[in-house]
Amino acid sequence: MKTRVALYIRVSTEEQAKEGFSLEAQEATLSQHCENLGYIVVGKYIDDGKSGKDMNRPALQELLKDCSQKKFDIVLVWKLSRLSRKLKDTLQLIEDFEKDDVSFLSYSEQFYNSKNNSTNKLMLSMVGGFAEFERSTIVENVKLGMNQRAKQGKWNGGRILGYDIVNKELILNEDEANIIRMIFNMYVNGKGCIYIRDKLNELNLKTKYGKAFTHIAILTILDNPTYKGFIRHGRTTGENKKRIKQENIIIVKGIHEAIIDEESFDKAQQITAHNRRTTPRMPSNPHLLSGILKCPDCGGRMNFQPAGKRNNKNHGGYYTCSNYKNFRTCRPRLFRAKHLERSVLNRIKSIASSTRIIEDIINEMNSNQGIDTEIIKKQITDVEKQIRKYESRMDAIKQQFISGDLTIDEYREFKSELEMVLTDLGCSKETISLEYAKACNTAVDANDVLFVLENFDALMENADVQMKKQLVESLIERIEINLDSTINEFVFNFEVPNPLHPNNQSKSDILICDTVHRD
């Protein structure tokens, strides 16, 4: 019987651009190597455009899953750094292979790891250490280069409203610059961010990414010294982009053209600072129905909006549509929070007090425990692979067009065809994902649901606000209300047989308000 081999292939965008570690080249080299040795390739696991900094890669995770199922005898990579650039992760992965009696082979380093081979383990530690050191060196060099560019007044960031990026330099975009001038002009003349946001959206003006303005977007623009001709670099750091101390930030005069004069910019900062001092923050407690309550007009999520004195912890409040609050694309309706929350809790208590409903819920859930979610997950994975494949083709034809290998008409034709395929694949993924979500929902542990329902009163009485919200969200996916603040329907996170619709399975997970006692 021939030795079964799994190929693991990875390339990041930067590596392919700079060093030519293409997926096709790796695949061809490794396949030929297997043929020369008389091995049979039983699987190819490809992570396209994925960094080796961690193990959160789709193809790698699929490889590990298949490894545990004994689908192959050897994992073959083109180079050790393809597996991981961190020694710790590399050692962990090979240890996982060993547990499943799978060997590991690196083509470039001629490294073959079999169980209990101490010499190869020593070599692995050395080579893996070099790979990690190489990545750390690259990261450090990139940081030094970016810091140097910033100190020279050069741009390091991405797209920014008001400018186009040409040869890594900021070039004034006059149409967008006028939006920036409008924002600063209104702000320094007494208009607030909400007013400015509404005015820009009323004029159908868009952000750099073609979206409607939010008040956060306005504040971000007002705080950006790029617009007064300066470069700011180092305000965020690390992979999680956390804020760092002010003394570590580079702020220097840039080589680009300013949009706002320094006097107007500084005045805007003074207004913002004054507003922060004179406007106390609201309590940050989570609110019971935020996110799961749906707007009766547009179906969007509703969020809590405070009312009354800001320094009063017992202030009243409302739920309002987030689409209206952020974009003014819905109606300005307000629904009393205390009334809605009390109504929802009373409905849940009514359900929890009904032995018949609880028994029906448990029976329904137990009958659906046999759904095989792994099959659906495999379908999602297959579709995602196809999407990545065609996205790679889209990038490839773009590069061919840039290099002059394709005419503009050829590029447009290929691009149109690929976009149609990607649209179809996206629809397929959405459909399958909905099936998977439904399968997962029916696979909720019946005992957990039973415990929450039977002990709902006691749990709510002893819980803080955060825990109360988690308890409600563990039961309810969404709540739809009527314009008069009454509840239209609950949609649960699990199947709820509906007495009003015993023969209609499409209604089985919706509990209409008439099926429980009214307030």
Backbone conformation region of residue 477, classed left if phi is above 0, alpha if psi is from -120 to 50, else beta: alpha
Identify the residue with better confidence: 364 or 239: 364
DSSP-based helix, strand, coil % in the chain, nearest 5: 55, 15, 30
pLDDT tens figures, 65-94: 999 999 999 999 988 778 877 767 777 888
12: annotated active-site residue: yes
pLDDT at residue number 43: 93
pLDDT at residue number 511: 44
pLDDT at residue number 353: 72
- Given a contact cutoff of 8 angstroms between Cβ atoms, the answer to whether 450 and 364 are in contact is no
- Residue 513 pLDDT > 80, yes or no? no
pLDDT at residue number 337: 87
pLDDT at residue number 510: 41
Cα–Cα distances in Å, from 374 out to 47, 108, 302, 378, 381? Answer: 21, 35, 34, 6, 10
Torsion of CA 401, 404, 405, 411, to 10 degrees: 30
Residues 6+ apart with CB under 8 A from 6: 41, 42, 43, 44, 45, 63, 66, 67, 71, 72, 74, 75, 76
Whole-prediction pTM value? 0.42
Closest CA to 222 of 268, 191, 158: 268
Tokens of 488: 């239209």
What value does the mean pLDDT take over residues 262-277? Answer: 86
Ranked by mean pLDDT, the top range of 167-171, 277-281, 345-349 is 167-171
- Given a contact cutoff of 8 angstroms between Cβ atoms, the answer to whether 383 and 429 are in contact is yes
Identify the residue with better confidence: 368 or 158: 158
pLDDT tens figures, 17-64: 344 457 787 888 899 889 988 999 999 999 887 776 778 888 999 999
The average confidence (pLDDT) of the chain is 75
pLDDT at residue number 172: 92
pLDDT at residue number 398: 78
Ranked by mean pLDDT, the top range of 107-111, 181-185, 333-337 is 181-185
Q: Which residues pair with 352 in a beta bridge?
A: none
pLDDT at residue number 494: 59
What value does the mean pLDDT take over residues 102-119? Answer: 68
Supply the angle between the helices 465-475 and 337-352 in degrees, to the nearest 10.
Answer: 60
Average the pLDDT over each of 153-157, 238-242, 437-441, 444-448 and give the range with the smallest value: 238-242
Cα–Cα distances in Å, from 70 out to 47, 75, 98, 255? Answer: 21, 12, 11, 59
pLDDT band for position 122 (cuts 50, 70, 90)? very low
- Residue 99 pLDDT > 60, yes or no? yes
Cα–Cα distances in Å, from 109 out to 28, 131, 193, 268? Answer: 17, 12, 59, 59
Fill in the amino acid letter for 509.
Answer: D
Number of Cβ atoms within 10 Å of the Cβ of 501: 14
Average the pLDDT over each of 172-176, 382-386, 456-460 and give the range with the smallest value: 456-460
- Residue 228 pLDDT > 50, yes or no? yes
Identify the residue with better confidence: 17 or 133: 133
pLDDT band for position 111 (cuts 50, 70, 90)? low
Kindly state the percentage of the chain with pLDDT values over 70: 68
- Residue 507 pLDDT > 60, yes or no? no
- Residue 8 pLDDT > 70, yes or no? yes
Q: Cα separation of 63 and 66, whole Å?
A: 5
